[in-house]
Amino acid sequence: MAIVIENMGYTPVTPFRRMVDAVLLERSIAAESSPPTGVNKWEALRELSVARLAYGLSDRDMAVLQALISFFPETLLDGDTLIVHPSNDSICARLNGMACSTMRRHLGNLVRAGVIARRDSPNGKRYARKSRDGRVVFGLDLAPLARQFAAFCDHAEAVRAARDRCKRLRETVSLMRRDLAGLAAYGLDARPDLGLWAGLIDQAARIARLLRRKLDPDALQTLQSDLAEALDLARTALEGPAKHAPSKHAAESGNMSTSDAQIEQHHQNSNKNLHVLELRSENAKAAGLDQDTAQAPDAGGGGAESPPDLGDEKLPRMPLSLVLGVCVEILAYADGPIRHWHELVQAADRVRPMMGISPSAWDEARHHMGPEEAAVSVAAMLERFAEIRSPGGYLRSLTARAADGGFSTGPMIMALLRRKAA
């Protein structure tokens, strides 16, 4: 049944006992344009909810609008007149008992925003009555909601794009902050002679505190610029010694190995025990024994000489957290969270058969590099597994360089850091 208004089709413009301003008159003229067609009322509400800040509306304003829309019986806002006429008490009831004065205030916000329009009766009441020409309805007009649907969609898309940009920018800043903290912690250990690491660590901690807040895109952009400068400074400081190194092997070592005397002694001891270690390891695998048990010295002290105790001097000169932050694939092969170096060694021992690394190659790496450095090498190789043709041969080449004192895992980790940051 068509909904019409009496008095020769006249549509009232001025509200009952309310002031008229230029904005209201402009919107009244716009309301006389062609009627809207086929706009889904819930879709219009959803798009306006996203774009509400552009219209100066709050979430409670949108709640009142949702209640008004619920009084319209059809799903599509279509036709000449889209007027609902609920009483204030009915509206408050659908708003879970919102105070009438509060509801009227939010209703006024919707009218000022041009989302709805008032079609007041001569006495200001909202009602509908039958007439010979159809129905006479006075109340709140939803036609502006349908007419502005395209504008709502444009504003909502702009809001979503801004949110996505802010989210991506926040993720970028978070990753850069994590890299800065890792590089600073590594630099403090590898190059304690430089005095910049404490400042970089403080900067990373300060930015971590800032990221707990809701920052606008401008603030995030400023943080990104500051972090880019700090990362360039840290990388320059860490790469500086490598640029002046006499050879590639020496550059990769990064002055992180032990002294020449220690390297020579370790190399000699490893040569004496290499054959015995290979036999014990592979025989133990065949017998189903634990590898560490097979490598243990004889109880009576006879047989071949046991491998030397490498001690703390062979531990990687970088934080375990930095290694795990870069080599994330190794975490899937651990029994649980990796908190100590020996747990990383166990995870590397578990994954190396899947990578095609033989027991003898693994044992050579452990005894020339140290178990921890060998585990870091395997973890770094796992990150680039698709690019390595022969992981076993690659590990043996690294082991040969380590036996000559020309290898350290530090440059491998730094290369992965730069790769992930690119």
Q: What angle in degrees, to the nearest 10, is found between the helix axes of 149-190 and 41-50?
A: 40
Please identify which residue in the block is written with the tokens 């036999």. 279
The Cα–Cα gap between 91 and 69 comes to 10
The pair phi, psi for residue 141, each rounded to 5°, is: -90, 125
Amino acid at position 129, single letter = R
Residues 60/66/71/73 CA torsion (nearest 10 deg): 180
DSSP characters for 195-241? Answer: S-HHHHHHHHHHHHHHTTS---HHHHHHHHHHHHHHHHHHHHHHHHH
Strand ranges inside 166-322, DSSP E: none
Contacts of 379 (CB under 8 A, 6+ apart): 323, 327, 329, 330, 344, 347, 348
Residue 176 pLDDT: 92
The 10 Å CB-count burial string (b at 16+, else e) for 223-244 is beebbeebbebbbebbeeebee
**CB-CB contact of 223 with 207 (8 Å):** yes
The Cα–Cα gap between 254 and 237 comes to 12
Contacts of 14 (CB under 8 A, 6+ apart): 20
Residue 208 pLDDT: 92
Residue ranges in 71-142 assigned as alpha helix (H): 88-94, 100-112
- The pLDDT profile of the chain, 422 residues, written as one tens digit per residue, is 334 444 435 555 665 455 555 555 555 555 555 556 778 999 999 999 999 999 999 999 999 999 999 999 888 988 777 888 899 899 999 999 999 999 999 998 998 888 998 887 776 678 777 666 667 788 888 888 888 899 999 999 999 999 999 999 999 999 999 999 999 888 888 888 877 888 899 999 999 999 999 999 999 999 999 999 999 888 888 876 444 333 333 333 333 333 333 333 333 343 334 334 444 444 444 444 444 433 433 333 333 333 334 344 456 767 788 888 889 999 989 988 998 999 999 999 999 998 999 999 999 999 899 999 999 999 999 999 988 889 999 999 999 988 888 888 888 888 888 787 66
- Three-state secondary-structure class, residue 39: strand
CATH topology of domain 6-147: Arc Repressor Mutant, subunit A (1.10.10)
Q: For residue 349, which of 368, 330, 325, 329 has the smallest C-alpha distance? A: 330
Amino acid at position 150, single letter = A
Residue 273 pLDDT: 41
